[in-house]
Chain A
Amino acid sequence: MTLLSGYAPFTARVRSNMPVVWVLALAAAGAACIPLVYLIVRAAQADAATWSDVLSESTLHLLLNTAALTLAVTATSAALALPMAYLTERTDLPFAGFWRSITIMPLAIPSYVGAFAFIIALGPNGSLQDLLAPLGVERIPEFYGFVGSWLVLTLFTYPYLLIVIRAGLRDLDPAIEDAARSLGQSAWGAFWRVTVPQLRVPLAAGSLLVALYVISDFGAVSMMRFDTFTRSIYVRFSSTFDRSSIAVLCLVLVALVAVVLAVDWSQRRNARYHRLGSGAARTPRLVQLRRYRWPSVFALVAIMAVALLVPVAVLFHWLSIGLQSGETFPGLLDAALNSMYASALAGAVTVAISIPIAIVVVRRPGFLSRIVDRVSYIGYALPGVVVAFALIFFTLRVTPGLYQTLATLIFAYAVLFLPQAISGLRTSLVRVQPGLEEASRSLNRNAWQTFYSVTLPLIAPGVLAGFALVFLTTMKELPATLILSPIEFDTLATDLWGHQEDVFFARAAASALLLLGCAALPMIILFGHDRELRT
């Protein structure tokens, strides 16, 4: 990137100290540490035998399984998400608005529903087998275990990367691509040598989200019968009553997460990604796909067919069985409203909390901001049930009056999903020239006015991406909702869980489909509109 002197590594220090922002960021980071404190308190009650029991050979086996799955899913998700982001954001793809909304929808499918649907559709004796039977296929190979988990988790987590990369693409200044083209690079050359390196921040942030999600996922691996760390923790939660041994196991998981976070950090360059010259970024022109136009559409259709159509078709199949036998679905509407309400609140609150963290991380690089950034990932990487128990412990000791109220629930969501909002915001914030903010200050706007009228509009794509991520993930969140919600506050996720647990598949399918619909609605509002850019 030495070609582009205007974008060369450069560290700008602005003098003001932002005490309020620091206080807010440290408070948010402190909240994110609650699960860790809880685990340490509980693990301290474990005896030596528990420790040696947990740190055994089978734990090593679990660690290796988890690491392999995490690497595989992250790599394939990135391979899927990068071209999808570019196609939907930067090219003259037909129906781009539709594709922009639909390609992130798999995120709204809870991984256990997706996995279950795949087993029904593609498993031995599944629907695919029935279709292939006339062709002489006796038994299609089983895909339980690593392969199944890999497939399912990739299909339902790539949107984390997609959303973040797309926000990054929107903020990308097209001038450097133009410069590359003017220096003789082909369109492909400009994409690989300029665009992709410029997307380093969203790629890394999105990959981290995917990796940590895989580490904390229980639904897919339990359905696919693949032994990972989180599965082992959940199994203990549902069968042993010894919380201290669970805490010890979780601390080992935290160590694994720390390694992932350290690797991610070491990959980070102290580079500048914002424009240094005068003027503002031009609206990028759309790349003409020409003869790749329809093959691109076909590829998207194929991916969506597997990631979205298979689960939806299975759900509709069950629903139709239920409707034929005259089942009714009372209470679904309430659950849907509760889900929308809690998820929208969680999205708004989490984004608000994460703004100070994103600001100190991007604008004040240093030891303290690095700590703030890294600890905010802890809640996200831990199994949801552990975070829920940490908040029982914390709330009853600190604010017992708020226990099992909406406030605690939203707080729990924020602790769980903070990194998603930060990833979206950081991606946008690195592109904002500090000079613009400084100009605003020199024009006698105070810090808050500057933030509101200059920074916030500039990081709008990141705010949106962060909100969308938290909203979609909250819609399907289960363990914390079960324990911390106000009593009888049913959401679509708890309704779905309750009925599939008791094998009322039609009702479970109805909740799952409604969950998808409720998730789709805001995504269409947020992402489905036409681009302002034109060829």
Chain B
Amino acid sequence: MENEISGAARLRPRHMKGSRWRPLLVFVALAALIAGALSAMASAGAQDGSDFEVQVRAQLHDDGRIEFGLHAEGQNLTPTLRFFPADASVGRLLVSSVVELRGVQLQVIARRQADGDTEFGVRADGEDLWPSGRIFPASTAADVWLVSSAVMVMSPDDAGDLVIYSGRGESLVGELINRFEQQTGIDVKVRYGNTAGMALAISEEGDRSPADVYYGQDAGALAFLAEEGLTAQLPADITAMVDSEFQDDDGRWIATSGRARVLIISPERVPNPPDSVFDLIDPEWNGRIGWAPTNGSFQAFVTAMRQIHGEAVTEAWLRGMIANDVRVYPKNTPQVQAVGDGELDIGLVNHYYLFRFDADWPAENHFTDAGGAGALINVAGVAMLESTTNRANALRFIRFLLSEAGQTYFREQTNEYPVASGVSARPGLTPLDELNPPSLALTSLSDLDGTLELLQKVGALQ
């Protein structure tokens, strides 16, 4: 009956029922309602954060000393001086060193009682607070942690805020920034993006930028902001913390961690890795090598090569690589992946990508080119914006990144080279002072235009 044409049409057009767009309105309204309610709840939750509970924890050691610490916000805080001597005199108040949490200076206070028990309390910003359950009995068994009842501590409401534009990812540095926030009570807001993109955004915003601090992982981007006059000079106590080769000459940015160029190799297929990136244009490596020409670290490396070895040598090397059938990757990690997968034998990457894979991933870092571009050490670094009115908190953040806690984080979590506070490189990695980086001002890495031109000229990049 397909061919039959129905005669009279329905009087009401079919869409008049409205059933097709009603769900849409309902959906939009519901989404708005739910989101509104949730954001109201979230902001209500954020406001009751000015008080927090602190407990003292303590354990007896075999030698009669009592080790103590603090517990707050779900974490244990350990002061440097934290042992109550076995022979302490009765009635004398002893005080631990300071730990900071949410902007409050916390100390443990303790005193021996006449009956041999010890009572513990908390000193918060100079005020002594005694928990109701605070007695550590002399008869306690050794090596068992006891916990006091809690005292309420007021954190200052006026620790202020801080806005960071970060070119480093949240999964890399989010945890570190959280620690800073917890320790200082400063309300930190972070905008994450890529290193060059965030620097460009700041320069587009100019002196209206909402950011107080820029945190990026390429010396070139930091140098660009400094050249534009958008970053402020850092005080001498900060610039003194880091070697002069890892900061701007005028103190307008400073490195927080180091990133070394390496070859990622397959130890199985490359038993005798080359000592120089320049050997990679050898026919031996035809079709076995990879690079990521759009990657910022790679471009910084080519910039360094131009500065150290000159345009002609660099161009010849680039052409040699292409003639040697270099495989192109979108970034560094896929190269480490490809080496492990057997797709690639040698890749040009930074040293820390390998540590993101399992320990038994079949790939190895290989350092090359003592004193040459292949041994370049680029940095991640930080700068305070000239336009900020929030200098105290901005500087506090920078000091925190360079503190022992910050530097240890880079060694343990991002696998980079620490650059301050005497923290050493992670085990298994050639220490920073045994590497032979080229003597090249990192600031010169901002000359990327020439590098891009060259990469385009030889066809490595369109």
Interface residues, chain A, with chain B CB atoms under 8 Å away: 53, 58, 61-62, 124-125, 175, 178-179, 181-182, 187, 222-223, 225, 227, 231-232, 235-243, 279-283, 285, 287-288, 337-338, 340-341, 344-345, 347-348, 385, 389, 392-393, 396, 400, 403-404, 456-458, 460-461, 463-464, 467, 482-483, 487-488, 494, 498-499, 501-504, 507, 522, 525-526, 529, 532
Complexed CA–CA distance, A392 and B210 (Å): 12
B208 touches A396 (CB 8 A): yes
Complexed CA–CA distance, A242 and B224 (Å): 10
B44 surroundings in chain A (CB, below 8 A): none
B189 surroundings in chain A (CB, below 8 A): 487-488
Complexed CA–CA distance, A265 and B396 (Å): 59
Complexed CA–CA distance, A460 and B446 (Å): 54
- Shortest CB-to-CB span from A226 to chain B, Å, is 10
B3 touches A181 (CB 8 A): yes
When C-beta atoms are compared, the residue in chain A nearest to B18 turns out to be A457
Q: Does B32 contact A (CB under 8 A)?
A: yes
When C-beta atoms are compared, the residue in chain B nearest to A123 turns out to be B343
Q: Does B80 contact A (CB under 8 A)?
A: no
Contact with A along B195-232 (1 / 0, CB 8 A): 11101110111101010000000000100100000000
Given contacts A464-B21, A482-B192, 9 further A-B contacts (CB under 8 A): A225-B328, A241-B446, A344-B31, A457-B15, A461-B20, A464-B24, A487-B210, A502-B169, A526-B24
Complexed CA–CA distance, A179 and B5 (Å): 8
- Shortest CB-to-CB span from B210 to chain A, Å, is 6
Q: Does B193 contact A (CB under 8 A)?
A: yes
Contact with A along B3-21 (1 / 0, CB 8 A): 1011011111111111111
Listed stretches B115-123, B372-380, B447-455; interface member: B447-455
Interface residues, chain B, with chain A CB atoms under 8 Å away: 2-3, 5-6, 8-21, 23-24, 27-28, 31-32, 34-35, 38, 163, 169-172, 189-197, 199-201, 203-206, 208, 210, 221, 224, 294, 296, 299, 328, 330, 333, 341-343, 353, 356, 446, 448-449, 451-453, 456, 461-462
A488 surroundings in chain B (CB, below 8 A): 189-191
Which one, B24, B192, B195, contacts A494 given CB within 8 A? B192
A457 touches B16 (CB 8 A): yes
B353 surroundings in chain A (CB, below 8 A): 503
Complexed CA–CA distance, A178 and B3 (Å): 7
Complexed CA–CA distance, A283 and B12 (Å): 11
Q: List 19 A-B contacts (CB under 8 A).
A: A178-B6, A179-B5, A227-B462, A239-B296, A280-B14, A281-B9, A283-B10, A288-B2, A344-B28, A345-B28, A345-B31, A404-B210, A457-B13, A457-B21, A458-B13, A461-B20, A483-B201, A487-B191, A488-B191
Complexed CA–CA distance, A177 and B445 (Å): 67
A178 surroundings in chain B (CB, below 8 A): 3, 5-6
Which one, B2, B8, B32, B333, contacts A341 given CB within 8 A? B32
Complexed CA–CA distance, A526 and B296 (Å): 44
When C-beta atoms are compared, the residue in chain A nearest to B20 turns out to be A460
A463 touches B448 (CB 8 A): no
A341 touches B31 (CB 8 A): yes
- Shortest CB-to-CB span from A419 to chain B, Å, is 20
When C-beta atoms are compared, the residue in chain A nearest to B202 turns out to be A392
Q: Which of A182, A240, A288 neighbours the largest number of chain B CB atoms within 10 Å of its CB?
A: A240
Complexed CA–CA distance, A499 and B3 (Å): 58
A389 touches B201 (CB 8 A): yes
A460 touches B192 (CB 8 A): no
Which one, A238, A242, A279, A392, contacts B449 given CB within 8 A? A242
B356 surroundings in chain A (CB, below 8 A): 503
Q: Are A237 and B8 CB-contacts (below 8 A) given A125-B342, A498-B192?
A: no
B169 touches A498 (CB 8 A): yes
Complexed CA–CA distance, A287 and B224 (Å): 64
Q: Are A182 and B196 CB-contacts (below 8 A) given A222-B330, A241-B203?
A: no
Which one, B2, B171, B196, B461, contacts A499 given CB within 8 A? B171
Across the A-B interface, give the 4 residue pairs with the lowest CB-CB distance, nearest first. A341-B35, A227-B462, A344-B31, A178-B5
B6 surroundings in chain A (CB, below 8 A): 178, 282
Complexed CA–CA distance, A27 and B14 (Å): 33
B195 surroundings in chain A (CB, below 8 A): 238
Complexed CA–CA distance, A239 and B449 (Å): 8
- Shortest CB-to-CB span from B397 to chain A, Å, is 15
B15 surroundings in chain A (CB, below 8 A): 457-458, 460-461
Which one, B14, B35, B221, contacts A283 given CB within 8 A? B14
A282 touches B9 (CB 8 A): yes
B456 surroundings in chain A (CB, below 8 A): 58
Which one, A236, A282, A464, A499, contacts B10 given CB within 8 A? A282
Q: Are A482 and B171 CB-contacts (below 8 A) given A241-B224, A279-B9?
A: no
B205 surroundings in chain A (CB, below 8 A): 392, 396
Q: Which of A338, A404, A502 neighbours the largest number of chain B CB atoms within 10 Å of its CB?
A: A502
- Shortest CB-to-CB span from B381 to chain A, Å, is 16
B5 touches A498 (CB 8 A): no
B172 touches A502 (CB 8 A): yes
- Shortest CB-to-CB span from A100 to chain B, Å, is 12
A400 surroundings in chain B (CB, below 8 A): 208
A125 surroundings in chain B (CB, below 8 A): 341-343
A222 surroundings in chain B (CB, below 8 A): 294, 330
B34 touches A337 (CB 8 A): yes
Complexed CA–CA distance, A288 and B224 (Å): 66
Which one, A280, A340, A392, contacts B9 given CB within 8 A? A280
Which one, A175, A181, A280, A482, contacts B193 given CB within 8 A? A482
Which one, A124, A338, A389, A403, contacts B200 given CB within 8 A? A389
Complexed CA–CA distance, A232 and B453 (Å): 12
- Shortest CB-to-CB span from B286 to chain A, Å, is 17
Complexed CA–CA distance, A74 and B282 (Å): 43
A237 touches B200 (CB 8 A): yes
